[in-house]
Chains A and B, each alone.
Chain A
Amino acid sequence: MNIQSCVEVRNEWDIVKARQSGRNIAKELGFGTVDQARITTAISELARNIYLYAGSGEVAIERVENGGKLGLKIEASDSGPGIKDIRKVMEDGFTTSGGLGAGLPGVKRLMDEFTIDSKENEGTVITSIKWLR
C-alpha cells in the first residue's frame, strides 16, 4: 500500500487543501483524533510558512516505515529565500512575520522528528515525521 499526496502551495486555499489531504492520510494510517489534529496543524503551519516566506512551494505527505514502525512524513519544500540562521528560527518566540505563525518550534513539538535543510537564496526543505503509537 503506497499512500501519498503532494499539494502545491500557491495561495491560501492550498493551505486548506494540504491539511485536508494530511488529515485523510493520517486517518487512513490509523492515527487517533489528537494526532490527526497535531499532524493537520503541523501541515497548516508549514504550508503557511511556504506561502508567507517563499510565495510558493509544495507539501508532500507520505507513509513511512522504519523497523516495523509506521509513520506519516511531511516534506515541505520551497525555492524561496532560505533561512539565514536556523538556530534562531528554532528559538521559541522568534518571528519575522509579526506573529502570524506559531513558528517552527511549535511544529517540532507537534511532531516526533523534525529536520530543516536550508540554503540562503536556494530554498528550504523541512521534513517531519509522526510515528504511529
Chain B
Amino acid sequence: MRIPILKLNQYLLITIQVDLDDKTALQFQEDLLGKIHETGAKGVVIDLTSVDMIDSFIAKVLGDVVRMSNLMGAKVVLTGIQPAVAITLIDLGIMMKNVPTALDLEQGLEKLQQELGG
C-alpha cells in the first residue's frame, strides 16, 4: 500500500486515510523523503484527521520523518490530531517533542508560510 503525496506549489500535502501498518508507515517515510528530494519542496503538511489511533511505532515513524525532512531542509507540520489520539499518546508517555503541529490543514499551511517567510 502506498500513501499518495500531493504537490502544491512549494509544498507537499499528505492526508493519511488508511489504518497504518508498519510496512506502509516505513514505505511512506521513504516515499516522502524521495519526493522532497525530487521536487525541492520547502514545506510538508501531514494531515492526520482520519487517523483514529497512533501507537508508539507510528509515533516514532512520524517523529523520525519530521527530523529526517528537517535534515534535508524541509519543514514538516503534523495537523488534525484527534482528541482521542492526543490523550492516548500522552497516556502512553509519548510527548512528540519538537514536532510542529497545527489544528488543521489550513493552520498547518499558515504555520509553514510564516516559518518559510511568506
Total interface residues on B, CB under 8 Å, equals 23
- The residue that A102 contacts in the complex, of B82, B87, B93, with Cβ under 8 A, is B93
- Scoring A23, A38, A92 by chain B CB atoms within 10 A of each residue's CB, the highest score goes to A38
Contact-residue bracket for chain A: 20 to 34
Expressed in whole angstroms, the Cα–Cα distance for A32 and B21 within the complex equals: 24
Judged by a CB distance under 8 angstroms, whether A34 is at the interface is yes
Judged by a CB distance under 8 angstroms, whether A15 is at the interface is yes
- Name the 5 nearest CB pairs between A and B, nearest first: A102-B56, A37-B84, A106-B92, A44-B55, A12-B22
Contacts A38-B87, A45-B92 given; 20 further ones with Cβ under 8 A?
A13-B21, A16-B21, A19-B19, A19-B53, A19-B55, A20-B19, A23-B53, A34-B83, A36-B84, A37-B87, A37-B88, A38-B91, A41-B54, A41-B92, A48-B56, A92-B93, A101-B56, A102-B56, A106-B56, A106-B92
30 A-B residue pairs with CB within 8 Å:
A12-B22, A12-B23, A19-B19, A33-B52, A34-B87, A37-B53, A37-B87, A38-B84, A38-B87, A38-B88, A41-B53, A41-B54, A41-B92, A44-B57, A45-B55, A45-B56, A45-B92, A48-B57, A100-B57, A101-B56, A101-B57, A102-B55, A102-B93, A102-B94, A105-B93, A106-B56, A106-B92, A106-B93, A109-B91, A110-B88
